[in-house]
Amino acid sequence: MDSSLIHPEDALFTAEKRFPVITACDHYAGTEKLMRKALALQQELGPIFDVTCDCEDGAPSGREAEHAQMVADVLNSDANRFDMAGVRIHDPSHPHWQRDIDVLVDGAGARIAHLTIPKPTAADQVFTVVDYLQQRVVAAGLSREIPVHVLVETHGALRDVWKIATAPWLRVIDFGLMDFVSSHHGAIPAAAMRSPGQFEHRLLARAKAELVAAALANGLVPAHNVSLDLKNREATFSDARRARTEFGFLRMWSIYPAQIEPIVEAMKPDYAEVQDAAAILLAAQAESWGAIQYQGELQDRASYRYFWDLLRQARVTGVEIPEAAQLAFFRDSA
């Protein structure tokens, strides 16, 4: 890489928050066996998805502390090769959420990839949990932020989603379809937990669009709910593709290993657009990031920011990037 050329991170974002570019799939696992199986698959496929170890639905009642300690042990193990495993704690109304944080931060605070807060009913609950997390991080002597993900799956959370989006350390806002449908007391039919209803029912389309708008306006990643058809790769791909292209979601949950690859594939940027992005950014860099023409169209810093985000997304989803762009823009490349 020519040291005289300015990198896009330095040229394009001097006064702006960098948008977090993370993997397109978040795979949930609730037992030690499934967590280790997911981390083994992560090693096999490469770091193309995150793992979320579940303390909410995974912990047996009365054994929450033991479950949280088991999760900390898994995070600290050699199985967590890429440090791409986070945790979903109990919801803010549960008596054990603080103890979850205590055990996890004290036991594996340096290796938690993210911490997910489920089922808040108001923005204030999110701020309370994040404040407690921050205090525990300081008390543990850690000098890092632990990225926070919030699950919007209640009426109150959707009402407050724009305020939630301003919480510190927040990186992702997730949509929780099943709990959200259930909270409507039968007004939304059970069929809307599946496609096509989950994309076409007006209350769900409105909720998803509002969540995505709030997330993106605040520099956060919007994450789509799971596909209930566990073993049908085509159905999972279709759900992920619709979430990406029709609603703007950039990430999606998985709850079954067979769902991971279809989600990643569906969320990938278009290959031809990635090639154009590489060519445009290389040409712009050569012109010190001034305006250029590319195939008869004007390109300037506004479009450069778009194409740089696209190129970063291509990298974490495994889309091939032209070698010249790989060497010019990704500093850890050979």
Q: Is the per-residue pLDDT at 6 higher than 70?
A: yes
**Whole-number average pLDDT of the chain:** 95
pLDDT band at 9 (very low <50, low <70, confident <90, very high): confident
90-94: long-range pairs with CB below 8 Å, 24+? 90/55, 90/56, 90/59, 90/64, 90/118, 91/56, 91/117, 91/118, 91/119, 91/120, 92/117, 92/119, 92/120, 92/121, 92/125, 92/126, 92/128, 92/129, 93/119, 93/121, 93/125, 94/56
Tokens representing 69?
């300690």
Q: Is the per-residue pLDDT at 41 higher than 90?
A: yes
Q: Is the per-residue pLDDT at 294 higher than 60?
A: yes
Q: Is the per-residue pLDDT at 265 higher than 60?
A: yes
pLDDT band at 2 (very low <50, low <70, confident <90, very high): low
pLDDT band at 18 (very low <50, low <70, confident <90, very high): confident
pLDDT value for 137: 98
- Looking at 58-62, 173-177, 308-312, 325-329, which range is the least confident one? 58-62
pLDDT value for 334: 40
pLDDT band at 59 (very low <50, low <70, confident <90, very high): confident
Tokens representing 36?
């280790």
Cα 271 to chain centroid distance, Å, stands at 21
Instruction: Name all domains of the chain by residue range, CATH numbers in brackets.
Output: 8-13+270-329 (no CATH), 25-267 (3.20.20.60)
Q: Is the per-residue pLDDT at 200 higher than 80?
A: yes
